[in-house]
Structure 1
């Protein structure tokens, strides 16, 4: 035997008992009135703490950015530079048309040392005397957190990274440009127009 076809019912709503039904008590028949909210400053207000905006920021424009540029370098940025056969400091200068000072934090150096012999060339480049070292006072050696924390405190840095997750985190911080590799050269993102930054 075949199955009997059942027609689909469209826009069917659940049946509700009307307030006039005999099964409902008199006290329940009247709709409950909402209590009016008290007006004025006496009511309980939720207090939100908004982080203080940096004095370097003029709306979305960062006034502390200017030559010579201070660039925080991430581990994968150096690795990708080696793969693309780019000399870091001259390539940075070609990108920004100004003097660049690369900075390396202790966390980034610790990450290179953890990576082992495979990345010994990158470690040798990171130990170059032209790279300035920044000491880390926090616990742990996770470089991404370290860079994000440093950039939120001081708005004078450009972050050089090729890590997508770190880029996403830095884009949420206003006024911090990101340098990355694209088509075998360095490009910069979110740089103010006043300094003649190259357009993407």
Structure 2
């Protein structure tokens, strides 16, 4: 199961590299929920995350995340200590902590989501917004073939591609089969041969009759 999740993570990261220019170190923004889940499941974020994403990472958080953890009291004190270890970025909504970050992130193309499920970090598959953005980009410019294949494969996984209905192929009008013609010609020749032989036999019989008549006439004249 772990190997399968790592394969999916590698495939999804390749999608972001090819289509959105992701480069190492990957910048990862951590919120309070992720820090709390890592603490509960004894996950070392700084040590384990680079191996899971197959690349160097730069971990950071925001002031609104720290403020939210502080407002929740002692229950999330440990998560607050973890978040404080990372680089703190300024944000425009410091006065109003964002409690629905995941939903808003899915509405923006090119932003992957990382969760902790069953003691394991899981990278979510690209959102429909990301796939639609790349598809629109492909329609406006030439895109490498490997990029198109990655998009189609991910869309099939999410059920966004409908398989074409089976259509009956129309038979094209064409000439007769040359083999069938040969067979017919052979049959015609076979049927013609006996008729020609019959005609020759008739001719021989007619000649014989005429000769016999001539002989009989001569005999009668001599008599």
TM-score for the superposition, normalised by structure 1 = 0.50
**Structure 2 residue aligned with 1:87:** 44
Bigger helix fraction: 2
Q: What pairs up with 1:73-112 in 2 under 5 angstroms?
A: 73-112=30-69
Q: Is 1:71 the counterpart of 2:6 in the alignment? A: no
Q: What pairs up with 1:84-163 in 2 under 5 angstroms?
A: 84-128=41-85, 131-138=86-93, 140-144=95-99
Which secondary structure does the structure 2 equivalent of 1:177 belong to? coil
**Cα shift at 1:143:** 2.3
Of 179, 183, 188 in structure 1, the residue corresponding to residue 114 of structure 2 is: 179
CA distance in 1 between counterparts of 2:19 and 2:113 reads: 13
Cα gap change, 1:93/1:173 in structure 2, threshold over 3 Å: closer, same or farther?
A: same
Cα gap change, 1:88/1:173 in structure 2, threshold over 3 Å: closer, same or farther?
A: same
Where structure 2 has 5 or more consecutive residues not aligned to the other structure, the ranges are: 1-14, 131-145, 148-153, 158-223
CA distance in 2 between counterparts of 1:176 and 1:127 reads: 23
Bigger strand fraction: 1
**Cα shift at 1:170:** 2.4
CA distance in 2 between counterparts of 1:68 and 1:185 reads: 21
Higher relative contact order (CA 8 A, sep 6+): 1
TM-score for the superposition, normalised by structure 2 = 0.45
Where structure 1 has 5 or more consecutive residues not aligned to the other structure, the ranges are: 1-57, 148-165
Cα gap change, 1:138/1:94 in structure 2, threshold over 3 Å: closer, same or farther?
A: same
**Cα shift at 1:101:** 1.0
Q: Does the CA-based 8 Å contact 2:115-2:123 persist in structure 1?
A: yes
CA distance in 2 between counterparts of 1:133 and 1:139 reads: 12
**Structure 2 residue aligned with 1:190:** 125
Q: Does the CA-based 8 Å contact 1:91-1:185 persist in structure 2?
A: no
CA distance in 2 between counterparts of 1:139 and 1:76 reads: 17
CA distance in 2 between counterparts of 1:182 and 1:123 reads: 20
Which secondary structure does the structure 1 equivalent of 2:61 belong to? strand
Number of residue-to-residue matches in the alignment: 117
Deviations 1:137-176 (A, max 9, x none): 346332246x5xxxxxxxxxxxxxxxxxx2x432232111
